[in-house]
């Protein structure tokens, strides 16, 4: 049966306008940090409509939408200042449980991801491991009906407010390092877990260190086979090669920065020339349109099962570059008036300083793991046939 994509878009637009609460849309429209409160409230609204998991199959409680429907969903939600979906549960561990989990694990965990009851974080990175994930040393030994976990994770986003963590642990040192890794699901209120904040230059608390000291985890919280966690980890990273949310959210950011520059230009009329920033915005607008065309073409290729080649890498690289440029424009617009207030006391309302924080957060997020450099290498190797 053919899908009426135009009608589907109209249905989404009506829902976004009517269902997304004004206080949630205000946070998104202003470019402020979206917190657990907004994420969970929006997830509950979507789930009540049956749209809690756009990328999941119907049998797991998802929508069963195709890639084009998911792209339209992301575009419409971004256009209407609705929050993005929280990725750790819906985009990461949820699909892993669907693919590798037992029926009991699916029944326990998937409904709580869908309705927003559980808030997940990821325990992958460790001190001293750098980008070599397989070198992790956090250990888990089986005693009776429990895994005993010891070690440390770092750069753990949202660990301070998460109820669950999915983590890679070393269950064997005898095989090669990739084969001795397993995937565990651990409640964050388990005795022996300590969370310490990592202060970052953007002023937002989102990163943490997490310590595990003789933490006891029920044996049936291991996903997949013992020692096969590397397979789960690769599936998590590779399962969705196209990032529809990235392009849609890029357009949202462009609109936010455009409004910011226009407001700053009016406020500084006759005192400051904003023509250079307006020119840069036009260049960004052209690149955003280009990214949307690339995304549409890649989506069509995926639907018709044509090879994607380097398209996902080019799209990711473009989005990272434009996001950095947009936040730089925002910083240039508000910087002279807001920079001296960036060090305001905690809790003080400093609206303009939000974009200084946004600038720093975006730079860190798009540079993290060498994102742009990795994508450039992928593209270069493909073009050179390496």
Residues taking part in catalysis? 240
For 190, the token pair is: 């388990």
- From residue 249, alpha-carbon distances to 29, 144, 334, 349 in Å are 11, 47, 21, 25
Exposed, middle or buried by CB within 10 Å (0-12, 13-18, 19+), for 152? buried
Please give the DSSP secondary-structure letter assigned to residue 228.
B
Alpha-carbon distance of 206 to 158, in angstroms, equals: 5
Alpha-carbon distance of 209 to 214, in angstroms, equals: 17
**Sign of torsion over alpha carbons 36, 38, 39, 41:** positive
**Sign of torsion over alpha carbons 113, 119, 122, 123:** negative
- The whole-angstrom distance between residue 104's C-alpha and the CA centroid of its chain comes to 27
The answer to whether 309 and 382 have CB atoms below 8 angstroms apart is yes
Work out the end-to-end distance of the chain between its first and last CA atoms, rounded to an integer number of angstroms.
42
For 229, the token pair is: 């966690």
Cβ contacts of 338 within 8 Å, gap of 6 or more: 350, 352, 353, 355, 356
Paired residues of 196 in beta bridges: 209
């Amino acid at each position: 049966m053919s899908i009426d994509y135009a009608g589907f878009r109209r249905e989404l637009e009506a829902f976004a306008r009517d269902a997304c609460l004004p206080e949630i849309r205000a946070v998104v429209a202003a470019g402020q940090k979206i917190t657990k409160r907004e994420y969970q409230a929006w997830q509950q609204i979507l789930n009540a409509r049956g749209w809690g998991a756009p990328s999941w199959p119907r049998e797991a409680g998802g929508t069963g939408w195709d890639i084009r429907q998911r792209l339209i969903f992301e575009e419409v939600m971004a256009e209407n200042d609705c929050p993005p979906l929280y990725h750790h549960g819906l985009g990461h561990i949820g699909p892993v449980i669907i693919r590798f989990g037992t029926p009991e694990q699916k029944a326990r965990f998937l409904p709580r991801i869908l309705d927003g009851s559980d808030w997940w974080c990821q325990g992958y990175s460790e001190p001293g491991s750098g980008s070599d994930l397989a070198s992790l040393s956090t250990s888990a030994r089986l005693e009776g009906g429990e895994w005993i976990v010891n070690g440390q994770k770092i750069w753990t986003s949202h660990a301070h407010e998460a109820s669950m963590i999915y983590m890679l642990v070393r269950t064997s040192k005898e095989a090669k390092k990739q084969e001795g890794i397993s995937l565990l699901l651990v409640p964050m209120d388990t005795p022996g877990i300590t969370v310490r904040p990592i202060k970052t230059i953007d002023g937002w608390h989102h990163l943490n260190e997490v310590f595990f000291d003789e933490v006891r985890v029920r044996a049936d919280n291991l996903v997949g086979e013992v020692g096969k966690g590397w397979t789960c980890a690769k599936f998590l990273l590779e399962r969705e090669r196209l990032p529809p949310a990235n392009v849609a959210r890029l357009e949202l950011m462009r609109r936010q920065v455009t409004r910011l520059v226009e407001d700053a230009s009016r406020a500084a009329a006759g005192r400051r020339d904003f023509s250079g920033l307006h020119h840069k915005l036009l260049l960004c607008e052209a690149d955003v349109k280009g990214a949307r065309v690339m995304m549409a073409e890649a989506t069509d290729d995926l639907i018709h099962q044509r090879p994607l080649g380097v398209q996902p890498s080019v799209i990711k690289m473009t989005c990272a570059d434009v996001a950095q440029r947009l936040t730089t424009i925002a910083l240039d617009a508000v910087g002279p008036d807001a920079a001296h207030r960036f060090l305001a006391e905690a809790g003080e309302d400093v609206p303009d300083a939000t974009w200084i924080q946004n600038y720093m957060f975006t730079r860190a997020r798009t540079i993290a793991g060498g994102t742009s450099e990795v994508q450039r290498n992928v593209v270069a190797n493909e073009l050179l046939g390496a």
